[in-house]
């Protein structure tokens, strides 16, 4: 799917119907853990970047989906007697909550 179609389509069902599988698996999220060190010997000028981890252990989750919390891809919005109601149709919020 080209990026323009993806960016302009507001309906998740329409996006799904236009998807063509290439029978390839892709990692969208991964947990990284183990020994780690910074790429910086000293913090870059004007930065508060850490130069080392206190115990050298990394425990992080890397998510390749940059719009994981973009509302239009996981929650529908409706008006109920003047009040906005959000109804999730995907579990992105649950995923983030459980990751934390």
Q: Which pLDDT score is estimated for 30?
A: 92
Reported as type and span, the H/E element at residue 93 is helix 92-99
Q: Which pLDDT score is estimated for 44?
A: 73
Between CA 93 and CA 87 the distance in angstroms is 11
Q: What is the pTM of this model?
A: 0.50
Q: Collect all residues with Cβ–Cβ distance below 8 Å to 20 and sequence separation of at least 6.
A: 1
The partner residues of 58 in beta bridges, in order of sequence, read 34
Evaluate the CA torsion angle 8, 12, 13, 15 in order and state its sign.
Answer: positive
What averages of pLDDT result for each successive group of 10 residues across the chain (100 residues)? 78 80 87 81 70 68 79 82 88 84
Q: Which pLDDT score is estimated for 83?
A: 93
Q: Which pLDDT score is estimated for 50?
A: 58
């Amino acid at each position: 799917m080209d990026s323009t179609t993806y960016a302009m389509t507001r309906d998740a069902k329409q996006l799904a119907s236009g998807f063509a599988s290439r029978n390839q698996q892709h990692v969208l999220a991964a947990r990284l853990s183990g020994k780690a060190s910074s790429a910086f010997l000293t913090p870059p000028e004007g930065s508060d970047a850490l130069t080392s981890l206190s115990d050298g252990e990394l425990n992080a989750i890397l998510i390749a989906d940059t719009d994981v919390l973009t509302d239009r891809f996981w929650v529908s919005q409706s008006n109920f007697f003047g009040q906005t109601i959000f109804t999730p149709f995907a579990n992105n919020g649950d995923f983030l909550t459980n990751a934390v």
